[in-house]
Amino acid sequence: MVVFFSRYGNTDFSPNYELTYDNPVDAISSTSIVRNQRNLSGTTEVVADFICAAVEADKYLIRTEAVYLVDCDAVISQNHREYSDKFFLPLKDQIENREQYEVIFVGYPIWSSITPMAFLSFLNEYDLLGKTILPFATHNGYGAGRSFTAVRNACPNSTTLDGLSLSSADVHTSQTNINQWIDRIGVKDLIGIDTPIRVTAGNTVMDGMFYGTELAREIMGMLPITVNMGAFGGLEYYGLMPSRPAATEEGQLRFDNGDITYCPQNNTIAIFMCRPAIPILPCE
């Protein structure tokens, strides 16, 4: 899941609200709102959308019961009061079935070199015991400030991984940086996301998919590999793996055309080229 806070979505801006130098939109850093062509959006939500596309995650906007004022100076003053008083704001919504999410991206704009208090209100309200937390922040040139430490301190019973900070001016072109961050910290391994692969057999090129299992991830770590395959029973092509994976999984009873499977008994990998849904015995 991707959870984020943004002033956009928590302030009643008019549809024709103008972003100008004299009309800032965010406490301290002016990073909460950007215009893409004719549409306004939250900078943090732009990043959240890129993350959702990369890992097929659900998205959730943190909303406070009381909206923030349009006037930037008023928001700055409110932000300082909230921190001074350690005031956790009442939140408007609840995440349904939140126990099903084990990996949670959490995002926010930088306000006064740290997270908005509204965002910390979310971390205070939800029990994230045992969850894996991945923070990301949007800013106006000064980086993440003390915010990643604040997230880690607010989630002492969670595993908080290295965060990502992005300049608000760059969010619309940040997809490559976001994808590199996701790959670097191994998120796809954590959530078991499926990974596309390409198989070449002579002059034939086939696109396939590795499911997000421990065995699949181990075999992906061996790629590229070359397997000499032979036909068997008119159902499959199989061949000996160059090395034996440590992970094993239960076999299945039915295979469709194009399924790729590994058999630990004889350390072979097979591509099924049978009619769809022909029952066969599992290999283990």
Report the distance separating Cα 257 and Cα 277, nearest Å. 8
In this structure, are 162 and 235 located in the same domain? no
In this structure, are 147 and 16 located in the same domain? yes
pLDDT (0 to 100) of residue 23:
44
Across the range 37-45, mean pLDDT stands at 69
Confidence band, pLDDT 50/70/90 cuts, at residue 194 = low
In this structure, are 73 and 97 located in the same domain? yes
Give me the domain span that covers residue 104.
Answer: 2-191
In this structure, are 227 and 166 located in the same domain? no
Report the distance separating Cα 135 and Cα 127, nearest Å. 16
Last residue of a domain, one of 191, 210, 235: 191
Q: Is the pLDDT of residue 34 over 70?
A: no
Q: Does the residue 231 lie in any domain? A: yes
- The model's pLDDT over 42-101, given as tens digits with 9 standing for 90+, comes to 788 889 999 999 888 899 999 999 988 877 778 878 888 998 899 999 999 888 887 888
> What CATH number corresponds to the domain at position 225?
2.40.100.20
Across the range 97-122, mean pLDDT stands at 89
- The model's pLDDT over 172-187, given as tens digits with 9 standing for 90+, comes to 889 999 999 998 888 8
pLDDT (0 to 100) of residue 27:
35
How does strand 132-139 pair with strand 103-109? parallel
Task: Using the Cα atoms of residue 60, residue 73, residue 149 and residue 117 in order, give the sign of their dihedral.
Answer: negative
Across the range 192-207, mean pLDDT stands at 77
Q: Are 195 and 210 in contact (CB under 8 A)?
A: yes
In this structure, are 47 and 162 located in the same domain? yes
Give the total number of structural domains in the chain.
2
In this structure, are 134 and 218 located in the same domain? no
Q: Does the residue 161 lie in any domain? A: yes
Confidence band, pLDDT 50/70/90 cuts, at residue 276 = very low
In this structure, are 154 and 56 located in the same domain? yes
- The model's pLDDT over 124-144, given as tens digits with 9 standing for 90+, comes to 998 888 899 999 999 888 888
In this structure, are 184 and 255 located in the same domain? no
> What CATH number corresponds to the domain at position 104?
3.40.50.360
Last residue of a domain, one of 191, 223, 241: 191
Q: Is the pLDDT of residue 17 over 70?
A: no
In this structure, are 183 and 233 located in the same domain? no
pLDDT (0 to 100) of residue 30:
40
Across the range 11-22, mean pLDDT stands at 58
Q: Is the pLDDT of residue 191 over 70?
A: no
pLDDT (0 to 100) of residue 36:
55
pLDDT (0 to 100) of residue 151:
95
In this structure, are 253 and 141 located in the same domain? no
Long-range contacts of 239-248 (CB under 8 A, 24+ apart): 239/268, 239/269, 239/270, 240/266, 240/267, 240/268, 241/267, 241/268, 241/269, 245/215, 245/218, 245/219, 246/218, 247/213, 247/214, 247/215, 247/218, 248/215, 248/284
Confidence band, pLDDT 50/70/90 cuts, at residue 117 = very high
pLDDT (0 to 100) of residue 154:
93
Q: Is the pLDDT of residue 153 over 90?
A: yes
pLDDT (0 to 100) of residue 252:
66
In this structure, are 172 and 36 located in the same domain? yes
Map tokens 């309200």 to a residue: 125
Beta strands in 140-264 (DSSP E): 159-160, 164-167, 195-201, 204-210, 230-232, 236-240, 254-255, 260-263
Last residue of a domain, one of 152, 170, 191: 191
Q: Does the residue 284 lie in any domain? A: no
Q: Tell me the average pLDDT of the chain.
A: 81
